[in-house]
Amino acid sequence: MLNLVLFGPPGAGKGTQSEKLIHKYNLVHLSTGDLLRSQIAAGTELGLRAKQLMDQGLLVPDEVVIGMIESKLRENQSAPGFIFDGFPRTVLQAEALDSLLSHYQTPITIMIALIVDDEELIRRLLKRGETSGRPDDKDETTARRRVSVYNKDTMPVADYYSQQGKFVGIDGIGTIDDIFLAICEKIDSQK
């Protein structure tokens, strides 16, 4: 069983690398951002409330995302492992994830953090905003707010995993294939 937290700021490449990792390691991809966007597309009440916060580059309340992850873990009990992408984003979410996984006796194996400087992140987000249609990518103020929320509220999650001896940092600047190989090397060395 491999349970991977793929960590990093907005635009670090978590979604891009998750797409490749799920095929190589046969994992279920749990992206809280994607789950929230599905709720928005379906026009649910949860989606409508989340959209107001997401469009401003702010975090959705912990209990909302923890509830979504809980139900996805229940639905996928026979999965060979998971990639958590964009979750946990607060220490409270990290503690909740450990508690949920303890019911299945499958703790987090490794946390891989993609390290990219703030100016490169803003460049990537604004470039993607030209074509993605994601409202939170469209203007520089919102992109910068997302990065600053990450630096303030999400960075402490790295210490949380570091204290458990599970934190591995990877340079997130370079070609997508080179970064993928570096991630795989770290995962394989844990097995």
CA distance 74 to 66: 12
Using CB under 6 A, pick the residue from 2, 4, 14, 112 that binds ligand AP5. 14
Residue 129 touches ligand AP5, criterion: CB under 6 A: no
Residue 10 touches ligand AP5, criterion: CB under 6 A: yes
Site for ligand AP5 in 23-52 (CB under 6 A): 32-33, 36
CA distance 67 to 92: 13
Residue 124 touches ligand AP5, criterion: CB under 6 A: yes
Residue 8 touches ligand AP5, criterion: CB under 6 A: yes
Determine if residue 133 is labeled as part of a ligand binding site.
no
Nearest to 89 by CA among 146, 35, 155, 34: 155
43-52 residues labelled b (16+ CB within 10 A) or e (exposed): eeebbebbbe
DSSP 136: G
Using CB under 6 A, pick the residue from 54, 97, 113, 183 that binds ligand AP5. 54
Nearest to 166 by CA among 88, 80, 69: 88
Query: Which residues would be at the binding site for ligand AP5 (CB under 6 A)?
Result: 8, 10-16, 32-33, 36, 53-54, 57-60, 65, 86-87, 89, 93, 124, 128, 136, 146, 176, 179
